[in-house]
Structure 1
Amino acid sequence: LGVRAQRAWPRWAVALLGLGALLTMPFGSADHTNYAAYGRIALLGGDPYIESPVAWAGGTDPVTSGVQPPWQETPSIYGPLATLLQLGAAWVGGDNLRQVVWVWQVLVVAAWLMTRWLLRRLFPDAHGRIDALWTMNPILVGTAVLGAHVDTMATAFMVAALVLARRRGTRWALATGVICALAAMVKVTAGVALLAIALGWLLEAHRAGSRPRSVLARVGILVLGALLVALPLQLWAGGSAYAQLGRSRRSISLATPWRQVYEWFGGHLPDATWRSLVFALAAATCLLLAALGWRVLRDRVPDLGAPLVLALSLSMAYAVGAPYVLPWYDQLVWALLPGVALAAGGLLTRVWLVRGLILALAYVPGRVVGLTPGVESLTLLFRREIAPIAALLVWGALVLLARRATNGDLPSHDQLR
């Protein structure tokens, strides 16, 4: 299961898997056609945050016309840096949709390999677990890398920020802020790295009894570095960059417990009011789950530092507590699990593996478009019935482990080595 994996995979095996990914058409979702269309629209002078792919150029463009349902009328929800990368893929790929997608796949595979390189520096004693849970993990590779998802690029930037966050000095704080902004400019939810690092530094300073002024200055430099990158990119993208994100933020996916809550108790209030209430409950639940994750891990892996533990706790809480989740949203959790795989007796990692497998079965094969009735029924069974239970399994594991940690019943990380 990768919890106690000791040996790293040889480089030739990793290279072979990367080459295989580049020879495989993306599957599991239609997102790669969206990315190509948004880049094409930006390249030709349009605004991908306003224009719908199906309407661009009268629906005759050789790239944008290839967008598949249900995203044909959906403008971009991604950050300005993601749009720039998509534009670059469109420029290199030209008028051929497959070529544009393939260039995008090269960027995704490069980000996946870069994350492995960064993780080996973040966790120098866990190379075997890194390859088991990140590099050669069929759940992660099958849903994220072979799906060519933009989240892989955001994850590379987030992990890079966590690596830099361990270094002291003004220039490193500034560089960390720059990298955090690059992550958030790929996808807004990747801004969790900036939040985790800032709060982590404050918590570490408090526990060490450091002067508040010095740590606040460090956090200020971190934010300054982020603004130096975010503001120019935001100005380039324009004021409509997050218009579609605002419209889609109230979606509730089938694979979450919140879908059941929404359907079971809906109808008693106006839909907009009920959705707002569900999202408020989900936000409170995410905060509680993050607090439980912090309680479980903070004393089990003290050598990893508060920013990393906070990043993992927040990301895990969002992945199982948010109203809208997909299997490729879990990438930062998969990336950071090698560092805490032995914590809590490995139970948290094993539960996450079970949940990840179920979520992958729920969405890959993915969109219930063109599937046989049998495959569609099986996919919807996992999506509607089993995946929400898997999320509740993680909730229960966090509650149990936090209680055991409070009672002093959990072994330390060193005792499990």
Structure 2
Amino acid sequence: MGNSVRARAGTAAVALSFALLLLVGVAGPSAAKPGLGPRGWAPGDLAWAPSSALVTALVWAAYLLGGSGVLLRLLAAGRDAAVVATRHAARWSGWGWPLLLGVAALLTGPFGSADHTNYAAYGRIAAQGGDPYFTAPDAWSASDPVTSAVEPPWTGTVSIYGPFATALQALASVVGGANLRQTVWVWQLLVVAAWLLVRLLLLRAGADRARVDTLWTLNPLVFGIGVLGAHVDLLAAALALAALVLAARSPFAAGLVGGLAVSTKITFGIAGVALLVGWWVHERSGFWRRALLLAVGALLVAVPLHLWAGPHVFDQLERARRSISLATPWRLLLDRLAGGAVAAGTVRDLISWASVLLAVVFLVLLARLTRGLAPATTIGTAARWVVVLSSAYTLAAPYSLPWYDLLAWVALPVLAPGVVDLLLLGRLTAMAVAYVPGRVVGMSKTVEHLTLGVRRRVVPYAVLAVWVWLSLAARRGSVRASAPRPPAP
């Protein structure tokens, strides 16, 4: 298959994937999409509500087509970057398509999980003077039209999100009022704005435009999971990238924005660590001054936000620490060992420690694979380490979901093409397929059995294959790097 054919086939697959995802988003409630009640002044749904079997097939097809399309576009650009990238980037280079997709996303209702109903409930509780870190949605008010809409298994779960996320959720609640659909739509506005901001920041950072659009803007996996799923991780990722870009002008401003990222989701503090590495490598003479300004800026934002959130802000985070999600290889180990001679609690403790060790191994391997891919600048090195640190964490973590990958994907376009693109694409595609349709209610018994089977018995082995692939790719790269060069003619 020639490069031009690859590029055209990839573009066609990506376009069809977007169409299927948007179709599910504008359709009525389904096993993938919770109903949000009266539309109020927000956009509504089509009268057509697909069955659980049909919506599962549509979303699976969309993600498989999307992953394949991105793969073909990467392969085409990688093999003939000078021709293919220039030819196809010109077609998609402006802001027309991104803005059109953003508007289209705002005509949909979020799907792929019911997390957005949790966000609305936590914002409603905070806006009405309650503490979402202490009071679960089902303990707030049985008659409240927003908090009562939270679905199992989260009805009795307090917020795990940072205080800035809660502040944004409260803002959406204030604007949306007692109408769930309006509240969620305001949240979608924030998510779409963050998605567009990432593209702007990547271009400002000097990333190749064709690569930005292949990996971010026109990536159906990122769009479907992050934008159409309306996940808070996309907001945190945009803030983390903004901190990297601002660091070139003002470490203090980078600290302020980085503090907001950490206060949205604590794991996004990875961006601060990556910035420190970038300064240490490229601007060591002023390292301590910059590090101090970064820390002061972050603390000026994070401390007041956490004081506002109250003493229970980390309660659910501590409880979630020992969770193990179904689609990770760790779940295979838990299911095999727990209930036998070893107590389940002991197995969870062993997995927690083993995952930390594996994350360190993955960090070393990913650092080896990305060597030489980043521009020789502070932001280039920082972006590289965002990819390395966040990917090592998500790959090794016992509890991992597809939207956890978004931090790596906001920084990946800054790097030059490499096998890491394919590794992360494989991981994201597998995890996206695992969490279809996305809710725990609304499925027929057959669909529930099928989708749980894929999540528990297929995808963990696919992720395990990515682990092996990463190890082999890093070893091959190491061998090539250490091989003696032929003598010059």
TM-score (norm 2): 0.77
Report the counterpart of residue 172 of structure 2 in structure 1. 89
Report the counterpart of residue 57 of structure 2 in structure 1. none
2:460 to 360, 371, 388: 388
Amino acid paired to 1:61: D
Matched, 1:319 2:391: no
CA-atom RMSD in angstroms: 1.9
Quote the Cα distance in structure 1 between the aligned partners of 2:233 and 2:215: 17
Q: 1:203 to 1:288 in 2, by over 3 A?
A: farther
Q: 1:204 to 1:406 in 2, by over 3 A?
A: farther
Quote the Cα distance in structure 2 between the aligned partners of 1:397 and 1:375: 31
Identity, in percent, stands at 49
Are 1:254 and 1:383, in contact at CA under 8 Å, matched by a contact in 2?
A: yes
Amino acid paired to 2:294: L
Are 2:194 and 2:238, in contact at CA under 8 Å, matched by a contact in 1?
A: yes
Aligned length: 396
Quote the Cα distance in structure 2 between the aligned partners of 1:261 and 1:335: 32
Are 1:143 and 1:364, in contact at CA under 8 Å, matched by a contact in 2?
A: no
Structure 1: tracts of 5 or more residues without a match:
412-417
Give deviations 1:71-123, integer Å, cap 9, x for gaps. Answer: 11111000000000000000000110111011111111111111111111123
Matched, 1:180 2:270: no
Report how far residue 165 of structure 1 moved: 2.9
Quote the Cα distance in structure 1 between the aligned partners of 2:375 and 2:471: 20
Matched, 1:246 2:330: no
Report how far residue 291 of structure 1 moved: 1.4
Quote the Cα distance in structure 2 between the aligned partners of 1:133 and 1:307: 18
Structure 2: tracts of 5 or more residues without a match:
1-70, 78-84, 484-489
Q: 1:148 to 1:410 in 2, by over 3 A?
A: farther
2:342 to 266, 269, 272: 269
Amino acid paired to 2:179: N
Are 1:341 and 1:349, in contact at CA under 8 Å, matched by a contact in 2?
A: no
Report how far residue 404 of structure 1 moved: 2.6
Give deviations 1:108-140, integer Å, cap 9, x for gaps. Answer: 11111111111111234x111211211121111
Are 1:123 and 1:338, in contact at CA under 8 Å, matched by a contact in 2?
A: no
Quote the Cα distance in structure 1 between the aligned partners of 2:429 and 2:482: 26
1:365 to 409, 417, 437: 437
1:45 to 121, 126, 129: 129
Quote the Cα distance in structure 1 between the aligned partners of 2:438 and 2:410: 23
Q: 1:381 to 1:166 in 2, by over 3 A?
A: farther
Matched, 1:32 2:143: no
2:374 to 301, 305, 326: 301
Report how far residue 341 of structure 1 moved: 5.0
Amino acid paired to 2:157: T
**Structure with larger Rg:** 2
Matched, 1:78 2:161: yes
Quote the Cα distance in structure 2 between the aligned partners of 1:95 and 1:364: 29
SS at match of 1:408: helix
Are 1:290 and 1:313, in contact at CA under 8 Å, matched by a contact in 2?
A: yes
Report how far residue 163 of structure 1 moved: 1.3
Amino acid paired to 2:140: W
Give deviations 1:194-238, integer Å, cap 9, x for gaps. Answer: 122123323445xxxx45xx4223212211111111111111111
Quote the Cα distance in structure 1 between the aligned partners of 2:355 and 2:334: 11
Are 2:423 and 2:470, in contact at CA under 8 Å, matched by a contact in 1?
A: no
Q: 1:331 to 1:410 in 2, by over 3 A?
A: farther
Amino acid paired to 1:279: S
Amino acid paired to 1:74: T
Give deviations 1:140-172, integer Å, cap 9, x for gaps. Answer: 1111110111001001001111212344xxxx1
Are 1:362 and 1:379, in contact at CA under 8 Å, matched by a contact in 2?
A: yes
- Structure 1 residue runs of 4+, over 6 Å off? none
Quote the Cα distance in structure 2 between the aligned partners of 1:334 and 1:49: 29
Quote the Cα distance in structure 2 between the aligned partners of 1:204 and 1:403: 28
SS at match of 2:263: helix
Matched, 1:160 2:235: no
Report how far residue 10 of structure 1 moved: 3.6
Quote the Cα distance in structure 1 between the aligned partners of 2:280 and 2:337: 41
Give deviations 1:250-307, integer Å, cap 9, x for gaps. Answer: 1100110111111112233333332121111001111110111111112233435332
Are 1:358 and 1:382, in contact at CA under 8 Å, matched by a contact in 2?
A: no
Matched, 1:121 2:204: yes
Quote the Cα distance in structure 2 between the aligned partners of 1:387 and 1:243: 30
Q: 1:13 to 1:285 in 2, by over 3 A?
A: same
2:405 to 325, 330, 355: 330
Matched, 1:12 2:96: yes
Report the counterpart of residue 414 of structure 1 in structure 2. none
Are 1:404 and 1:410, in contact at CA under 8 Å, matched by a contact in 2?
A: no
Quote the Cα distance in structure 2 between the aligned partners of 1:79 and 1:357: 27
Are 2:383 and 2:414, in contact at CA under 8 Å, matched by a contact in 1?
A: no
Matched, 1:285 2:367: no
Are 1:89 and 1:101, in contact at CA under 8 Å, matched by a contact in 2?
A: yes
Are 2:258 and 2:271, in contact at CA under 8 Å, matched by a contact in 1?
A: yes
Are 1:358 and 1:386, in contact at CA under 8 Å, matched by a contact in 2?
A: no
Q: 1:270 to 1:180 in 2, by over 3 A?
A: same
Quote the Cα distance in structure 2 between the aligned partners of 1:390 and 1:165: 37
